[in-house]
Chain A
């Protein structure tokens, strides 16, 4: 009896690496390889599409907006395909058991980062890779197409610039706040760094007497949870958030009822991460995706998980739609972010 021969048989039938695992591991390696190239310096985490909030015409469309946190987005800067810049190696943290633990770890990693202290006339630069929609309709699925968008918004929130077809466009009097308050850096910076206080503040936005127009609409508890999760996602995606506030957001997210850990989520640039996920009303899963090692913000996705028939009113017309499971209608990846001195400037 040859002991080595016997041993060679032991567990020989263990299944081979699955195609998905192999793809994912290979993608991680390639992401690390790409990061070796002269990379865009990334300041801070955060982000995704900076949604210039051309949110559906206000209260009329509120039903729709709040149902899934979707906004009709005008594309301020659409750019030809751009090779994705560096990414994190992604080894999923084996030890993270639930969303609360993810929140804690992400908060610890984030709080250790240097604070952001931009001067009032500096600009936040965000570069986002975004899946393009297959049609202009509300809830249109995204396809295989990707665009890279670049935005600059001034720290004081008063100016805004974007790149379109290689040219820089600037907007003065950038004011959407009369309808939906812009989440300027000034707003973000003043948010509480204590998770419970932050959560209270976010919920207050959507309570009676809260921010317009929400304060005038009575929202159910479920609608409030959705809205708060969506607002937290917006803050991370559309801004650079100072580490203290960002850590508070990470700790606050798991305290929103229904928020769960999602072990493998993919952003619009194909990077794998871990996510805070919430299934809204049993129909749509929204994901805030983080790098599984550094916990930097990677991106955002909304996917329909069950037949979904939203209705709402758009431009005075009543709209009913049927959206099939698997439909992804909002998918982004932050590829660069920095504080710069001028609009158009990249790190």
Chain B
């Protein structure tokens, strides 16, 4: 999964790279807001899927404040700040790991996602997809924090293996093995459920 999002490609053509923005912010702190404008919405969505929008509101603000505080130690060779920002956000999410797991478990057990329903007509689709969602939530709740972080950075954060490695500050090999383990676990849960459903139908 290679990921340079469309907006970033454009940014590279017409606008300064993230690294350039960070460098400029050393003298001109307010310039850092450019990174906010580029990534806040994505990071919010990623965090909101894990913890809900309320917590995401706070976490996004905190992510950028922390990033801002670390701007002088940013490695300017990394032209994309995305993995860095996702890494900070993911670390902050970990502080809420208990509530994150509780939310998955609630979804798994009840079929009702405790995270806010976006629009009314979602309810219909929700019900249809419910079983699958419950299974996925079961699987997510059962993962270790590290495995879950890698899986969701890939699935929801849209990061490549290399970017996840950068975000989590671990070797790419570790990312691969964590992702492998996480996916196998998800597949196992889905497969086990598939078997039992077939049994019931028969």
Contact: A17 with B118, CB < 8 Å?
Answer: no
Q: Which of B55, B69, B116 is in CB contact (< 8 Å) with A94? A: B55
Contact: A32 with B155, CB < 8 Å?
Answer: no
SS of B interface (majority): helix
CB distance from A30 to the nearest CB of B (A): 6
A1 — which chain B residues lie within 8 A by C-beta? 190
| Segment among B40-48, B79-87, B162-170 that sits at the interface with chain A | B40-48
When C-beta atoms are compared, the residue in chain B nearest to A3 turns out to be B186
A3-B183, A16-B45, A94-B55 as given contacts; A26 in contact with B33, CB under 8 Å: yes
- With an 8 Å Cβ cutoff, the count of chain B residues facing the other chain is 45
Contact: B40 with A25, CB < 8 Å?
Answer: yes
Contact: B155 with A25, CB < 8 Å?
Answer: no
CB distance from A14 to the nearest CB of B (A): 5
Interface string of B102-117 (1 = CB under 8 A from A): 0000000000010110
In the complex, what distance in Å separates the CA atom of A10 from the CA atom of B81?
26
B129 — which chain A residues lie within 8 A by C-beta? 9
Q: Which of B65, B118, B155 is in CB contact (< 8 Å) with A13? A: B118
Answer whether residue B58 sits at the interface, using C-beta atoms and an 8 A cutoff.
yes
The interface of chain A, by Cβ under 8 A from chain B, is 1, 3-4, 6-18, 21-22, 24-26, 28-30, 32-34, 36-37, 89-92, 94
Contact: A25 with B49, CB < 8 Å?
Answer: no
When C-beta atoms are compared, the residue in chain B nearest to A10 turns out to be B136
Answer whether residue B11 sits at the interface, using C-beta atoms and an 8 A cutoff.
no
Q: Which of A7, A13, A30, A91 is in CB contact (< 8 Å) with B122? A: A13
Contact: A25 with B154, CB < 8 Å?
Answer: no
When C-beta atoms are compared, the residue in chain B nearest to A93 turns out to be B58
A89 — which chain B residues lie within 8 A by C-beta? 61, 65
CB distance from B111 to the nearest CB of A (A): 13
Contact: A29 with B186, CB < 8 Å?
Answer: no
Contact: A11 with B49, CB < 8 Å?
Answer: yes
The interface of chain B, by Cβ under 8 A from chain A, is 25, 29-30, 32-33, 36-37, 40-41, 44-45, 48-49, 53, 55-58, 60-62, 64-65, 68-69, 113, 115-116, 118-119, 122, 129, 132-133, 136-137, 151-152, 154-156, 183, 186-187, 190
Contact: B136 with A17, CB < 8 Å?
Answer: no
CB distance from A270 to the nearest CB of B (A): 14
In the complex, what distance in Å separates the CA atom of A290 from the CA atom of B65?
19
A17 — which chain B residues lie within 8 A by C-beta? 40-41, 44-45, 48, 53, 56-57, 60
A21 — which chain B residues lie within 8 A by C-beta? 44, 53, 57, 60
A13-B122, A91-B62 as given contacts; A36 in contact with B29, CB under 8 Å: yes
When C-beta atoms are compared, the residue in chain A nearest to B55 turns out to be A94
Task: Please list 12 pairs of residues, one from A and one from B, whose beta carbons are closer than 8 Å in the complex, sorted by A's number.
Answer: A6-B132, A7-B151, A7-B156, A11-B49, A11-B115, A28-B64, A29-B61, A32-B65, A33-B25, A33-B29, A37-B29, A94-B58
In the complex, what distance in Å separates the CA atom of A32 from the CA atom of B129?
43
B29 — which chain A residues lie within 8 A by C-beta? 32-34, 36-37
Contact: B44 with A29, CB < 8 Å?
Answer: no
A26 — which chain B residues lie within 8 A by C-beta? 33, 36-37, 40
A24 — which chain B residues lie within 8 A by C-beta? 57, 61
In the complex, what distance in Å separates the CA atom of A24 from the CA atom of B33?
12
CB distance from A319 to the nearest CB of B (A): 43
When C-beta atoms are compared, the residue in chain B nearest to A89 turns out to be B65
Contact: B61 with A3, CB < 8 Å?
Answer: no
Contact: A29 with B65, CB < 8 Å?
Answer: yes
In the complex, what distance in Å separates the CA atom of A245 from the CA atom of B166?
49
CB distance from B165 to the nearest CB of A (A): 18
Q: Which of A12, A22, A33, A91 is in CB contact (< 8 Å) with B40? A: A22
Contact: A33 with B33, CB < 8 Å?
Answer: yes
CB distance from A213 to the nearest CB of B (A): 46
In the complex, what distance in Å separates the CA atom of A28 from the CA atom of B40?
13
When C-beta atoms are compared, the residue in chain B nearest to A20 turns out to be B57
B116 — which chain A residues lie within 8 A by C-beta? 14-15
What 4 additional pairs, Cβ within 8 angstroms, besides A10-B133, A17-B40? A15-B48, A25-B64, A30-B33, A33-B33
A4-B183, A29-B64, A91-B62 as given contacts; A14 in contact with B30, CB under 8 Å: no
In the complex, what distance in Å separates the CA atom of A330 from the CA atom of B75?
47
